[in-house]
């Protein structure tokens, strides 16, 4: 019946989810594959949260399914679906790194390097998340994009602030950033020292 009337696939819930969103949320791999054979355009559909089915699978922990959906999106007509940002400004790469899905994060940035350029509404970049989590080989991959974003929060922080807090001055992020953003590097160290002093004075 569905194969005879593809409009059945295009229906949405009050939350804006189509059948591919719903099956992605619940991790129904086989159903997702069957749906995409009939209606590939559902990959680009966005719900009220600003999420594509790829993001829905990722944020619900279905990494294998998210990887499959990513491969399905790797064509020029669906590039926008990979780059989609949700209502908070996070994209699939933000979510993958924040949730610790390192292999998927590498798949994402390899498939679409421009994901590293996105910044959330809180001014957080994928690079910032990678440095915060200590995912060295991920942020080394991100640094290969000269347009990669380095911002890290609403208070003027950047990924160097995160690296300073982690305490490893020999980190590749330092070696890279010292060369191209020396002022940013020095400011990050100063900010972290001032923050540390302020916390000490505020202690009872």
Mean pLDDT of the chain: 83
Q: Which residues face 151 on adjacent strands?
A: 158
Mean pLDDT of 71-89: 96
pLDDT per position as a tens digit, 147-176 = 998 877 666 666 666 666 666 554 555 555
Chain centroid to Cα 44, Å, comes to 17
pLDDT per position as a tens digit, 34-72 = 999 999 999 999 999 999 999 999 999 999 999 999 999
Report helix, strand or coil for 138: helix
Residue 192: what pLDDT?
53
Q: Is 65 exposed, middle or buried (0-12, 13-18, 19+ CB in 10 A)?
A: buried
- Domain ranges, ordered by start, for the chain: 1-84, 116-204
Report helix, strand or coil for 124: strand
Residue 100: what pLDDT?
97
* CA dihedral (56, 58, 63, 68) positive or negative: positive
- 159-166 helix and 182-202 helix, angle to the nearest 10 degrees: 60
Cα distances (angstroms) measured from residue 144 to each of 66, 100, 130: 24, 21, 14
pLDDT per position as a tens digit, 91-145 = 999 999 999 999 999 999 999 999 999 999 999 999 989 988 889 889 889 989 9
Residue 93: what pLDDT?
98
CATH classification number, 1-84, choose in 3.30.460.80, 1.25.40.20, 1.10.260.40, 1.20.1250.20: 1.25.40.20
């Amino acid at each position: 019946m569905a194969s005879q009337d593809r409009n059945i696939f295009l229906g949405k819930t009050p939350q804006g989810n189509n059948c591919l969103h719903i099956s992605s949320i619940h991790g129904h791999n086989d159903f997702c594959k069957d749906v995409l054979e009939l209606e590939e355009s559902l990959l680009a559909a966005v719900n009220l949260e600003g999420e594509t089915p790829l993001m829905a699978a990722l944020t619900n922990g279905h990494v294998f399914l998210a990887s499959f959906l990513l491969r399905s999106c790797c064509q020029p007509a669906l590039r926008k679906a990979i780059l989609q940002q949700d209502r908070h400004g996070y994209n699939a790469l933000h979510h993958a790194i924040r949730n610790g899905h390192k292999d998927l994060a590498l798949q994402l940035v390899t498939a679409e390097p421009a994901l590293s350029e996105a910044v959330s509404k809180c001014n957080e970049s994928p690079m910032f998340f990678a440095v915060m989590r200590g995912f060295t080989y991920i942020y080394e991959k991100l640094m290969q994009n000269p347009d990669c974003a380095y911002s890290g929060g609403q208070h003027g922080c950047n990924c160097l602030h995160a690296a300073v807090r982690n305490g490893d001055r020999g980190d590749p992020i330092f070696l890279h950033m010292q060369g191209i953003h020396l002022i940013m590097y020095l400011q990050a160290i100063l900010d972290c020292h001032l923050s540390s002093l302020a916390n000490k004075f505020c202690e009872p």
